[in-house]
């Protein structure tokens, strides 16, 4: 039943009953859960009584206050935050029973997930932060994977996660061209020792039996960082694209365009829409809206300069192993010490390595502060930084050394310069209907479901109920 649809008045289909004074989002006491509202409280609470199957005296209370006001929702940014918000909006029953229009506007000419959402590690963790967002996001990741076959569609799986400490070998710039595996021969110095020394060594160092893609002889220690079932992963590009496609299947629309302004009625202090440049035609267009969601990652401050967002550029590479080798599912945070004479410059480095379900390694290093370009399509990749990451990881893994680099890439992460936690909520100090969802740093993929669910509740029901996110409110800064 669409909001505002016709039908008998509640006073005609049910008895006049006294219901206590309520605010939006409050729960009715149990003795009232099967009652309908009466004429004298209808204007105050904007409630609609719907008959349930069974005897006529049973009714359900349905709030239509927010959805009656929501007409058009515009989401700026088709990264994981924007696409997941679109998904949760379309999944909500309030959307399905309405004429609400959802439009996602993305500045990249290449489509969704061209920034960090497509080039991150895809880590999903119970031990991420902030906890109030994580406590919603992690179980939602599990639910989404079960509902939509996430294992097949976006590589959802649980993984081992640990801290690896050890020494790195200086393999030189020609590591990719080193001797083919069929030409490598062992010097057989340890043949007479049997295998017991290996087992003792692995146990002493804490290395799991199936973690065979880091060199054991270079390992000083391995320590598990989280209990089993507390760390998972997705292929971030596939996860983002699937969230968008699922939203589009339910009616959301995708528009390639660069938003140049969020339009606000200064008298009513509410959003009226956005103006954007169409990527295909170059023409300026304006779309009206009752709600605008700013989810443009580090580019969010281009539209609201008061947002204290810093952009950190992060490089990464992916490596495909030799044919026939299957990578065991581990995520490693490393502390690697290279020889003093190493050309890497810094003798102590900390690359991260993620084994992915499509049988590749994703490897990343530290970030830098190169200025944010105008759009995500203009992000520059520094090949020397990618080479450094490669030298670091092949220095601890002969398996990676004998693989092949598939991609060298860079992206920008949005970080909040004051406080660290992301910004999620309605910026009522600027305008009613303006929602901000950005600043998730490296936890955007992990915390996207909780963010999407919270924003959908704010828009469609006027209040976030899945968690107390007051500490993430835009009111901190705006």
| pLDDT one-digit tens code per residue, 411-430 | 999 999 877 899 999 999 99
Q: Tokens 């939509």 — which residue?
A: 148
> Phi/psi at 31 (nearest 5 deg)?
-70, -10
Contacts of 60 (CB under 8 A, 6+ apart): 49, 50, 51, 52
Bridge partners, 215 (sequence order):
none
Contacts of 130 (CB under 8 A, 6+ apart): 421, 422, 471, 472
How far is the C-alpha of 468 from the C-alpha of 453, rounded, in Å? 12
pLDDT at 171: 79
Token couple for 272:
């009226």
Among candidate residues 469, 425, 453, the one with its CA nearest the CA of residue 130: 469
Bridge partners, 262 (sequence order):
274
| H or E segment and range at residue 445 | helix 444-461
Token couple for 99:
């004429």
Token couple for 245:
């496609």
pTM for the whole structure: 0.82
Neighbours of 421 (CB within 10 A): 19
Beta pairing class for 157-158 and 123-125: unpaired
User: Domains in the chain, start-ordered, CATH in brackets?
Assistant: 10-63 (no CATH), 71-112+124-148+254-307+418-476 (3.50.50.60), 157-232+311-416 (3.30.9)
Contacts of 161 (CB under 8 A, 6+ apart): 125, 224, 225, 226, 230, 231, 330, 331, 332, 333
How far is the C-alpha of 293 from the C-alpha of 206, rounded, in Å? 46
Contacts of 455 (CB under 8 A, 6+ apart): 85, 88, 89, 293, 424, 435, 437
Token couple for 34:
């099967």
Contacts of 346 (CB under 8 A, 6+ apart): none
List average pLDDT for each run of 10 residues in the chain, which is 478 residues long. 35 35 41 33 35 36 48 98 99 94 98 96 97 98 99 98 95 50 32 42 88 96 96 98 99 98 97 98 98 98 96 98 98 93 74 97 95 97 97 97 98 90 97 98 98 98 97 94
């Amino acid at each position: 039943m669409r909001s505002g649809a016709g039908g008998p008045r509640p006073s005609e289909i049910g008895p006049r009953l006294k219901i206590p004074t309520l605010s939006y989002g409050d729960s009715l006491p149990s003795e009232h859960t099967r009652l309908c509202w009466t004429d004298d409280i209808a204007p105050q609470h904007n409630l609609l009584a719907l008959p349930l199957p069974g005897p006529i005296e049973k009714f359900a209370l349905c709030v239509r206050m927010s959805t009656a006001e929501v007409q058009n929702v515009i989401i700026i940014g088709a990264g994981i935050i924007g696409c997941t918000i679109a998904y949760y909006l379309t999944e909500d029953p309030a959307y399905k029973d309405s004429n609400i229009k959802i439009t996602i506007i993305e500045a990249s000419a290449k489509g969704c997930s061209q920034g960090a959402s497509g080039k991150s590690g895809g880590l999903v963790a119970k031990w991420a932060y902030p906890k109030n967002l994580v406590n919603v996001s992690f179980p939602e990741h599990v639910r989404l994977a079960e509902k939509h076959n996430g294992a097949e569609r976006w590589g959802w799986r649980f993984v081992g996660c640990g801290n690896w400490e050890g020494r790195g070998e200086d393999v030189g710039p020609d590591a990719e061209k080193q001797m083919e595996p069929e030409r490598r021969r062992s010097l057989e110095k340890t043949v007479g020792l049997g295998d017991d020394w290996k087992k003792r060594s692995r146990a002493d160092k804490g290395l799991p039996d199936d973690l065979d893609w880091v060199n054991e002889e270079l390992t000083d220690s391995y320590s598990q960082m989280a209990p089993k079932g507390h760390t998972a992963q997705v292929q971030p590009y596939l996860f983002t694209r699937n969230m968008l496609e699922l939203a589009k299947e339910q009616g959301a629309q995708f528009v390639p365009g660069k938003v140049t302004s969020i339009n606000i009625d200064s008298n009513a202090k509410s959003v009226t829409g956005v103006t954007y440049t169409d990527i295909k035609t170059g023409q300026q267009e304006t779309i009206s809206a009752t709600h605008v969601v700013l989810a443009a990652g580090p580019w969010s401050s281009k539209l609201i300069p008061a947002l204290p967002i810093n952009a950190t550029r992060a490089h990464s590479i992916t490596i495909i192993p030799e044919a026939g080798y299957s990578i065991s599912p581990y995520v490693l945070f490393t502390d690697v010490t290279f020889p003093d004479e190493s050309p890497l410059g810094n003798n102590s480095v900390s690359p991260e390595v993620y084994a992915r379900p499509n049988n590749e390694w994703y490897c990343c290093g530290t970030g830098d502060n190169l200025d944010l370009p105008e759009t995500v399509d203009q992000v520059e990749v520094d090949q020397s930084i990618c080479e450094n990451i490669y030298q670091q990881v092949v220095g601890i893994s002969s398996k990676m050394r004998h693989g092949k680099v598939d991609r060298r890439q860079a992206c920008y992460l949005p970080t909040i310069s004051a406080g660290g936690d992301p910004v999620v909520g309605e910026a009522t100090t600027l305008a009613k209907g303006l929602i901000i969802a950005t600043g998730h740093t490296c936890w955007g993929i992990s915390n996207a479901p909780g963010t999407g669910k919270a924003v959908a509740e704010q828009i469609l029901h006027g209040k976030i109920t899945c968690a107390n996110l007051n500490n993430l409110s835009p009111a901190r800064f705006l």
